[in-house]
Amino acid sequence: MGPGPSNIDPRVLQAMARPIIGHLDPQFIELMDDIKDLLRYAFQTENPLTFPISAPGSAGMETCFANLVEQGDKVLVCVNGVFGGRMKENVIRCGGEAIIVEDEWGAPVSSDKVEAALQAHPDINILAFVHAETSTGVCSDAATLAGIAKKYGCLTIMDCVTSLAGIPVLIDEWGIDAAYSGSQKCLSCPPGLSPITFSPRATDVVRKRKTKVQSWFLDLSLVMDYWSGEGARSYHHTAPINSMYALHESLLLLKDEGLKNSWARHETQHKFLKIGLENLGLSLLVDERFRLPQMNSVVIPGPLREREGDIRKALLSKHNLEIGAGLGDLAGKIWRIGLMGFGASEKNVETCIAALQSMLHAGLSSVS
């Protein structure tokens, strides 16, 4: 019950055990087409260029920046946690200039600050922001931010690693140009794949680049011929076949449950968790208006902070329960409890609350 990877449905594990086939086998090409269609449902988009990168979510992030940012481009990067900082690093490594809008960790991205920055820098090409900041558990208003970007003629890059399938992600309705996610969060798949989607406008920018993409492996002008070719597809890399089986099965499970039902289930289990935590005298970091149901940042009471690592170790060793530590500015100040995908269940919430209660009632002296 940490910030990912999440627990995996037994059907997904069984799918991974299927016999391997070649990555250019007609049956696998058919599977690739199914995965693209199912990802369009998950992203709520009609974007033709929608597929999983054969690498974790961080590679999905790099794919977006490496393909859309050229030398000298100005990118407005919203930083309100760890992963906004990683966006900034990507811009710099692509030779772009990062204009930073900062907000407090645990607070959403300020749309007023974004608009002021775009007014002050009319030559900004791209607005980049994290929809669901995994390091804090805060959700930013993607629809408003995308609307502001459109007003000023900017492309948008959105990190939805933790949000996809856990809360609404509406790519077409919001007008997002490029987005990336991860297989190991609310999709309840093993780590190692990064679903991405590019709008036709973003795809056109990629096709009209003045320079080659600095990464050969992540160059969409090459990869899209592997995923989008009709009939015979060009060879690009050996796809992780069994991981694709797993993603396909997880997306089928999502389609069977229904996106709205998935969003509602995450919200319901979050409310149960919140009540249980409050009964233990614990509180959540993020204001309820901006709180992610699938990523809960619990404020560690002052007296417990010196031993918070010991408490997490004891939860794992004595209760077989993993929760996450705080990152960056929040290290030692919060615990991160995930309710993601298959892991967002009443049984898991009950297990978590009972284990925390046992640790807190036992007293710090017994924590080892």
pLDDT along the chain (368 residues), means of 10: 95 97 89 96 97 96 98 97 97 97 98 98 98 98 98 98 98 98 97 98 96 95 78 80 98 98 98 98 97 98 92 94 95 97 97 93 55
**249 near 12, Cβ under 8 Å?**
yes
Query: Any idea what the Cα angle at residue 291 is, between residues 285 and 293, rounded to 5°?
Result: 110
Q: Quote the CA–CA distance of 275 and 110 in Å, as a whole number.
A: 29
Q: Which domains are present in the chain?
A: 10-256 (3.40.640.10), 259-366 (3.90.1150.10)
- In this prediction the pTM is 0.96
The position carrying tokens 């967002």 is 344
Kindly tell me the burial class for residue 266, based on how many C-beta atoms sit within 10 Å of its own C-beta (0-12, 13-18, 19 or more).
buried
Q: d(Cα 307, Cα 256) in Å, to the nearest integer?
A: 43
> How confident is the model over 127-186, as pLDDT tens digits?
999 999 999 999 999 999 999 999 999 999 999 999 999 999 999 999 999 999 999 999
Q: What angle do CA 205, 162, 222 make, to 5 degrees?
A: 30
The predicted pLDDT at position 232 comes to: 59
Q: What is the pLDDT of residue 365?
A: 45
Give pLDDT tens digits for 205-253.
999 999 999 999 999 988 888 887 555 577 889 899 999 999 999 999 9
Q: How far apart are CA 78 and CA 92, in angstroms?
A: 14
pLDDT at 229: 58
Three-class secondary structure of residue 51 per DSSP: strand
